[in-house]
């Protein structure tokens, strides 16, 4: 009990800003300077999407996630389905088979019952298609004006049925990077609704449970070294996190990164970079080079990996930098998201 | 994507780069005026394709960066009032004022909203008749027509609870200020394509003549910039000093006249203070007397305070092209996007932000 003073000095950030939840540098600072040093233990210190726990010889994955998205309903999903997919995907990033979820609801006084009913049914449908059961829950109601309709927290437990270790410290020079589809759709779908942007056809969120696809890769014997879902902060922040944790350099090629044309157009208009936009059904896989082509074929054969692409590789440079070859053939760094690109999108 | 991809084509970019190499025989220093061009240059690595003898220096064309500290403090004071809904382009929110920024006003309960168009702010005023809606009208000639339209419509529709906090600046006086400085080393300019889309380029012709500098109206995609540099170098090598238009798909010599008319209807030319640079005569726009009721500075009677800039920040020198961002001792260490000393580190058009984001830093802790 030697240090009672706050590790993020008042002079730096006296109050919480939206960016502290944005998946970028400030959130990272919270985790590294407040949460990890205080709660620190070998399981947490791995800094994975879910904790891997050994219980009587069985390896379990355990994770939690909260959902505050606005609007509650958006093209391609809603807060209910998102709350299931987000947690299921965090479990999948450890290579776990998701089994059970909890659901905690924070409801705002005045929320139409019909709205809650739609959300709950959507959660159940999402749980069914992801092969999980919602087995426990909690409900709290806050005063009108103290919430934003509905906030949902889900926690999840899954079982790891193989001996693979999937974690940043297994990443090696030469590893090949794959993404399972086009990037940026979730963030832009939300933004389009909020900003009233209209496209010829609505951009739908990519929100989906990817555990099935991950398990298929594993059961085909693909040597997966690391997985990360590309939620807040997008591909750029995920790669920076892994580069820092594994102390490796990562190079990607802008030409190979799949982004749909309507998403690209929206990004150009809004001034966003699709590398930083959130996804809810996309992940990056670090795969042994000898398995890369086979992994790509397997992904493309799966409905949630049709747009999969090899986007780069791990270099043998020591500096934990992410480098991108631009469309015109020059190289630049890709930094972690600083501040907030899209507020509250998941 | 059409109208984008063809201007980012690798083979065509290499071709233009080779053409620039072929015609370059001497060292030349060229300034791209607009911060949007600076970001495109660093994001796509355009400068890496150029001969070593060509130096690009980054101009003052970042409206967020040149908005005076005093006005940002005023914005913060107005936005902190409970009856106010303060609307702004997202870029302004992280610009440091003397003590805080607009984002922290929001975190303390201020109603600060990001809008993409000033007309959205007018709509918010209509929907909230019991609140005062203020739009932070910053920008060069590019944003002036939309800001003018917002005030024009508010007046026509009798909307009383809407006002503008105006910090509009103009490009040609800034070019003249740079060229008449004794420390100037700029030999040619890439003018900002979007500004010229509105204003045309006749006002640049006397500048090119008087100072004997080529000025090339240039777009924002990598190929636009390469072609703009090519045209500029060609003029320099041939000893010409003309205004040329690279961005013909958007810019006409006379510009967009209805937009100019609207600007003249609502705004008048005034002298303005440029953050980091100082006062430049007749370098900005202010509301005309007929529209004075929409001037937030009058409506809210905010006091002017004497303000001190960070003594360490060299953004003024960066904005004038005298220093590059990484030549600042605080760059990437005491000044980062999370802890900016100056606006150039947080604006999406700021040169320091571009270097921080796209160039490897010696300290890899960022």
Domain termination site, one of A138, A160, A182: A160
Q: pLDDT tens across B220-254, in order?
A: 999 999 999 999 999 999 999 999 999 999 999 99
Backbone angles phi, psi at A225, to 5 degrees: -90, -35
State whether B336 and B237 are in the same domain: no
pTM over 0.80: yes
What pLDDT is recorded for position A343? Answer: 37
Contact (CB<8Å) B94/A330: no
The total domain count for chain A is: 3
Q: Which residues of A153-191 are buried (b: 16+ CB within 10 A; e: fewer)?
A: bbbbbbebeeebebbbebbeeebbbbbbbbbbbbbbbbb
Two tokens, residue B78: 């107005």
The whole-number pLDDT of residue A11 equals: 56
Which domain, by its residues, includes B84? 65-170+256-299
* pLDDT of res. B366: 32
Mind telling me how many Å the CA of A30 is from chain B's nearest CA? 13
pLDDT at B305: 72
In terms of domains, do B91 and B160 share one? yes
Residue A316, SS3? Answer: coil
My answer on whether A248 and A264 are in the same domain is: yes
pLDDT computed for residue A322 by the predictor = 96
Plot region of B5 (φ>0 → left; ψ -120 to 50 → alpha; else → beta): alpha
pLDDT of residue A46: 84
For residue A133, the enclosing domain spans: 52-160
Residue-wise DSSP of B323-342: S-GGGSTTBTTTB-SSS-SS
Report the residue of B2, B3, B10 to disrupt the A interface, i.e. the one with the largest count of A CBs within 10 Å. B10
Query: How many domains in chain B?
Result: 3
Residues B160 and B89 in one domain: yes
What is residue A344's DSSP assignment?
S
Task: Mark whether A149 and A265 lie in a shared domain.
Answer: no
For residues B46 and B29, state if they share a domain. Answer: yes
The verdict on a CB contact (< 8 Å) between A332 and B46 is: no
- CATH code assigned at A182: 3.90.650.10
Regarding whether A320 and A244 lie in a shared domain, the answer is yes
Q: Determine whether the interchain pair A328/B222 forms a contact, defined as Cβ–Cβ distance below 8 Å.
A: yes
pLDDT at B363 over 90: no
Within 281-310 of B, beta carbons closer than 8 Å to A belong to none
A160, A194, A226 - which closes a domain: A160
Query: What per-residue confidence (pLDDT) applies to A1?
Result: 44
Distance CA B321, CA B351 (A): 10
Of all helices (H) and strands (E), which one includes residue A87? helix A79-92
| Domain's final residue, options B214, B245, B276 | B245
User: Of B254, B208, B255, which Cα lies nearest the Cα of B235?
Assistant: B208
CA A229 vs CA A29, A67, B200, B262: distances in Å? 20, 16, 47, 49
The CATH number assigned to the domain holding B158 equals 3.40.50.11740
Residues of chain B with Cβ-Cβ distance to A29 below 8 Å are 338
Most B CBs within 10 A among A328, A336, A339, hence the mutation to make, goes to: A328
**pLDDT tens readout for residues B38-77:** 999 999 999 999 999 999 999 999 988 999 999 999 999 9
> Looking at the structure, do residues B14 and B147 belong to the same domain, yes or no?
no
Q: pLDDT-derived band of residue B303, with 50, 70 and 90 as boundaries?
A: confident
In a domain, A44, yes or no: no
A65 and A17 in a single domain? The answer is: no
Q: Are residues A10 and A141 in the same domain?
A: no
Q: Are residues B290 and B197 in the same domain?
A: no
Using a CB-CB cut-off of 8 Å, the residues of chain A touching B8 are 327-328
**Mean pLDDT (whole number) for B109-137:** 94
Q: Note whether A188 and A74 are within 8 A (CB).
A: no
- The C-alpha atoms of residue B141 and residue A266 are separated, in whole angstroms, by 24
Contacts of A333 in chain B (CB under 8 A): 357-360
Indicate the SS3 state at residue A250: strand
CA distance A171 to A265: 34
Q: How confident is the model at residue B364 (pLDDT cuts 50, 70, 90)?
A: very low
A154/A177 same-domain check: no
Residue B35 lies in a domain: yes
Residues B125 and B163: beta-carbon distance below 8 Å: no
Strand order through the sheet with B243-245: B54-61, B28-34, B188-192, B215-218, B243-245
The count of C-alpha atoms lying within 13 angstroms of the C-alpha of A69, restricted to the half-sphere facing its C-beta, is 31
What is the predicted pLDDT for the residue at A345?
39
Task: Walk along chain A (346 residues) and give the pLDDT tens digit of each residue.
Answer: 455 677 766 557 788 888 888 777 888 889 999 999 999 999 998 888 899 999 999 999 999 999 999 999 999 999 999 999 999 999 999 999 999 999 999 999 999 999 999 999 999 999 999 999 999 999 999 999 999 999 999 999 999 999 888 999 899 999 999 999 999 999 999 988 887 777 767 899 999 999 999 999 999 999 999 999 999 889 999 999 999 989 999 999 999 999 999 999 888 877 789 999 999 999 999 999 999 999 999 999 999 999 999 999 999 888 899 999 998 888 899 988 776 654 333 3
My answer on whether B146 and B69 are in the same domain is: yes
Does the structure show a pLDDT above 70 at B300?
yes
- Residue A97 maps to which CATH number? 3.30.1330.10
- Quick one: tokens of B20? 């620039």
**Are A58 and A181 contained in the same domain?**
no
- Does B308 reside within a domain? no
Can you tell me the distance from the alpha carbon of B340 to that of B95, in angstroms, rounded to the nearest whole number?
Answer: 8
B107 closest CB neighbour out of A17, A333, A335 = A17
pLDDT digits over B178-201, tens only? 999 998 999 999 999 999 999 999
Tell me: pLDDT of B18 over 80. yes
Joined tokens for residue A201 = 């056809």
Strand order in the sheet with B111-114: B111-114, B84-88, B132-139, B162-169, B278-287, B267-274
Is the pLDDT at B129 greater than 70? The verdict is yes
Nearest to B8 by CA among B40, B54, B56: B40
């Amino acid at each position: 009990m030697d240090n009672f003073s706050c590790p993020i000095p008042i002079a730096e950030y006296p109050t919480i800003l939206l960016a502290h939840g944005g998946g970028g540098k400030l959130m990272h600072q919270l985790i590294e300077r407040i949460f990890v040093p205080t709660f620190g233990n070998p399981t947490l210190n791995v800094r994975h999407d879910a904790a891997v726990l050994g219980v009587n010889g069985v390896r379990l994955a355990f994770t939690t996630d909260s959902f505050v998205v606005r609007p509650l309903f958006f093209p391609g999903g809603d807060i209910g389905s998102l709350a299931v997919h987000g947690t299921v995907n965090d479990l999948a990033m450890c290579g776990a088979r998701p089994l059970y979820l909890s659901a905690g609801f924070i409801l705002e006084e005045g929320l139409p019952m019909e709205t809650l009913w739609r959300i709950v049914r959507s959660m159940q449908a999402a749980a069914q298609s992801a092969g999980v059961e919602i087995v426990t829950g909690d409900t709290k109601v806050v005063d009108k004006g103290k919430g934003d309709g509905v906030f949902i927290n889900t926690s999840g437990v899954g079982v790891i049925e193989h001996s693979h270790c999937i974690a940043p410290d297994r990443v090696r020079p030469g590893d090949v990077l794959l993404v399972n589809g086009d990037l940026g759709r979730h963030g832009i779908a939300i933004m389009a609704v909020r900003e009233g942007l209209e496209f010829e056809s609505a951009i739908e969120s990519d929100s989906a449970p990817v555990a099935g696809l991950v398990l298929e890769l594993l059961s085909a014997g693909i040597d997966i070294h690391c997985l990360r879902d590309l939620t807040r902060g997008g591909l750029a922040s995920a790669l920076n996190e892994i580069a820092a944790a594994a102390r490796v350099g990562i190079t990607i090629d802008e030409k190979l990164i799949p982004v749909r044309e309507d998403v690209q157009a929206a990004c150009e208009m809004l001034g966003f970079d699709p590398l930083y936009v959130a996804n809810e059904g996309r992940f990056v896989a670090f795969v042994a080079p000898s398995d890369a082509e086979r992994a790509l074929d397997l992904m493309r054969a799966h409905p949630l990996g049709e747009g999969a692409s090899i986007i780069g590789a791990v270099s043998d440079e020591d500096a934990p930098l992410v480098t991108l070859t631009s469309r015109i053939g020059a190289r630049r760094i890709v930094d972690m998201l600083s501040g907030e690109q899209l507020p509250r999108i998941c | 994507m059409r109208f984008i991809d063809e201007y980012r084509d690798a083979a065509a970019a290499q071709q233009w780069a080779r053409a620039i190499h072929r015609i370059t025989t001497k060292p030349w220093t060229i300034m791209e005026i607009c911060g949007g061009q600076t970001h495109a240059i660093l994001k796509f690595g355009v400068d890496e394709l150029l001969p070593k003898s060509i130096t690009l220096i980054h101009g003052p064309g970042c409206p967020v960066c040149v908005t005076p500290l005093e006005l940002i403090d005023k914005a913060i004071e107005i936005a902190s009032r409970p009856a106010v809904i303060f609307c702004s382009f997202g870029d302004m929110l992280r610009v440091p004022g003397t003590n805080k920024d607009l984002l922290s006003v929001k975190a303390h309960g201020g109603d600060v909203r990001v809008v993409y168009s000033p007309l959205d702010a007018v709509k918010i005023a209509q929907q909230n008749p019991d609140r005062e809606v203020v739009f932070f009208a910053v920008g060069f000639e590019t944003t002036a027509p939309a800001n003018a339209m917002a005030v024009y419509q508010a007046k026509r529709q009798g909307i009383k609870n809407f006002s503008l906090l105006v910090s509009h600046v103009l490009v040609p006086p800034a070019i003249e200020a740079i060229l008449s400085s004794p420390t100037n080393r700029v030999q040619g300019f890439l003018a900002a394509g979007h500004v010229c889309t509105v204003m045309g380029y006749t006002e640049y012709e006397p500048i090119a003549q008087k100072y004997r500098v080529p000025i090339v109206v240039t777009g924002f995609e990598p190929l636009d910039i390469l072609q703009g540099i090519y045209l500029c170098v060609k003029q320099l090598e041939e000893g010409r000093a003309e205004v040329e238009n690279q961005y013909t798909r958007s810019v006409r010599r006379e510009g967009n006249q209805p937009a100019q008319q609207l600007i003249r209807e609502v705004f008048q030319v005034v002298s303005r203070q440029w953050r980091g640079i100082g006062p430049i005569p007749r370098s900005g726009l202010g509301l005309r007397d007929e529209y004075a009721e929409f001037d937030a500075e009058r409506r809210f009677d905010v006091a002017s305070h004497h303000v001190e800039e960070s003594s360490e920040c060299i953004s003024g020198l960066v904005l004038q092209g005298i220093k590059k961002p990484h030549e600042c001792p605080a760059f990437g260490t005491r000044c980062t996007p999370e802890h900016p000393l100056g606006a150039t580190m947080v604006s999406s058009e700021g040169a320091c932000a571009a270097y921080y984001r796209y160039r490897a830093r010696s300290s890899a802790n960022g």
